[in-house]
Amino acid sequence: AKEQGRNNFQFYSASYNLATFEHLSLEGRLRRALANDEFELHYQPQVRAETGEIVGLEALLRWNDPVEGLISPDQFIPIAENSGLIVPIGEWVLRQACRQISAWQAAGLSRVSVSVNVSAIQLQRQECATKVDQVLNETGLDPRYLELEITETALMKVKPEVIDQLGAMQRKGVIISLDDFGTGYSSLSLLQELPIGKLKIDKSFVRDMLTDPKDAAIVSAILLIAKSLGLKSAAEGVETLEQATWLAEKGCDKLQGYLISRPLPAAEMAKLLKSGV
Residue 139 within binding range of ligand C2E, rule CB under 6 A: no
Dihedral, 246, 249, 255, 258 alpha carbons, nearest 10:
30
Q: How far is residue 61 CA from its own chain's centroid?
A: 8
Q: Which of 114, 106, 143, 141 is nearest to 56 (CA)?
A: 114
Q: Which of 22, 164, 212, 242 binds Ca ion (CB under 5 A)?
A: 212
Measured between alpha carbons, how far is 193 from 12 in angstroms, rounded to an integer?
Answer: 55
Residue 177 within binding range of ligand C2E, rule CB under 6 A: no
Given Ca ion, ligand C2E, none, residue 93, with its beta carbon under 5 to 8 Å by kind, binds ligand C2E
Q: Residue 174 has what DSSP assignment?
A: P
Q: Which of 236, 246, 247, 255 binds ligand C2E (CB under 6 A)?
A: 236
| Minimum distance, C-beta of residue 104 to ligand C2E, in the bound complex (Å) | 18
| Minimum distance, C-beta of residue 12 to ligand C2E, in the bound complex (Å) | 35
Given ligand C2E, Ca ion, none, residue 38, with its beta carbon under 5 to 8 Å by kind, binds none
Residue 263 within binding range of ligand C2E, rule CB under 6 A: yes
Contact criterion met (CB below 8 Å) for 94 and 133: no
Contact criterion met (CB below 8 Å) for 194 and 169: no
Distances (CA, A) of 12 to 6, 16, 23, 25, 255: 10, 6, 15, 18, 56
Residues between 132 and 151 with contacts to Ca ion, criterion CB under 5 A: 149
Contact criterion met (CB below 8 Å) for 239 and 259: yes
Characterise 65 by phi-psi region: left (phi > 0), alpha (psi -120 to 50), beta (else).
beta
Give phi and psi for 177, each to the nearest 5: -115, 135
Residues between 4 and 43 with contacts to ligand C2E, criterion CB under 6 A: none
Residues between 152 and 171 with contacts to ligand C2E, criterion CB under 6 A: none
Q: Looking at beta carbons only, is 202 or 253 nearer to Ca ion? A: 202
Write the interaction track for ligand C2E spanning residues 49-88; mark x where CB under 6 A is met and - where it is not.
-----------xx----------xxx--x--------x--
Q: How many residues bind ligand C2E (CB under 6 A)?
A: 23
Judged by the rule CB under 6 A, the positions of this chain that interact with ligand C2E are: 44, 60-61, 72-74, 77, 86, 90, 93, 117, 119, 149, 179-180, 203, 236-239, 257-258, 263
Q: Which residues bind Ca ion (CB under 5 A)?
A: 117, 149, 179-180, 202, 208, 212, 215
